[in-house]
Amino acid sequence: MLSLKKIAFIFIGIGVVVGLAYLMINSLEPKVRFQKIIGVQANSDTIYTLMKTPILWKKWYPVFLRDTGANLETFFYDNGMPRGLQWESKTEGSGTVKFGYIIPKSELNYVLFVKEMNVNSIVKVKILPKGKDSTDLLWMIESTLDSSFSSKAKAFLFDRVLQSEVENIELNLKHYFKK
């Protein structure tokens, strides 16, 4: 049987661990930055077309490959340039992508909003041709959350989510271009 002294020691230990976890999370910046280069065996024109055409996101973006029944709406400016897309999924949540400036065949910039996490991410993808049928994609993502404790805890987890999603994008693009 545990003595009162041992029980008190256990509760003090738990308190110290919880306190340290609180201090660690509270010291985090509510901003997540992530960068990765993805190599794809396809020419840069083909990749640019795939990425700038919202309806084609169903072929490579992880949300749509995990939930093929996700609802996707696309939006265009009057001149035909892509403005963005939004999705709703029973398993993947919902969100929007709003395209910012696009440098044809070179760079795409967009704001990604994930409703369930209430997070806006600024995404920049640089298309870097390496050869006739080889292209690197430099993904740069910055997400900003408010400075509350819960947002800082979310930022800690969201960093892992971003890394996982970009790794899924890499696998999906490599699979797509193997066909």
Per residue in 78-131, pLDDT (tens digit) is 887 778 999 999 988 899 999 988 888 999 999 988 888 777 889 999 999 998
Provide the angle, in degrees to the nearest 10, between the axes of the packed helices 44-52 and 149-178.
130
Position 61 in a domain: yes
| Mean of per-residue pLDDT scores for the chain | 84
Position 112 in a domain: yes
Which structural domain, as residue segments, surrounds residue 174?
30-178
- On whether the CB atoms of residues 106 and 127 are closer than 8 A, the answer is yes
Query: Band of the pLDDT at 44, cuts 50, 70, 90?
Result: very high
Position 64 in a domain: yes
Here the CATH number for the domain that contains residue 40 is: 3.30.530.20
Position 36 in a domain: yes
Position 172 in a domain: yes
Exposure string (b/e) for 96-113, b if CB count within 10 Å is 16 or more? bbbbeebeeeebbbbebb
At residue 1, the pLDDT reads 64
Position 1 in a domain: no
pLDDT, mean of residues 60-86 = 88
pLDDT, mean of residues 140-159 = 70
Position 157 in a domain: yes
Position 7 in a domain: no
Predicted structure pTM score: 0.75
Question: How many folded domains does the chain comprise?
Answer: 1
Query: Band of the pLDDT at 33, cuts 50, 70, 90?
Result: confident
At residue 132, the pLDDT reads 87
Phi/psi of residue 71, nearest 5 degrees:
-80, 130
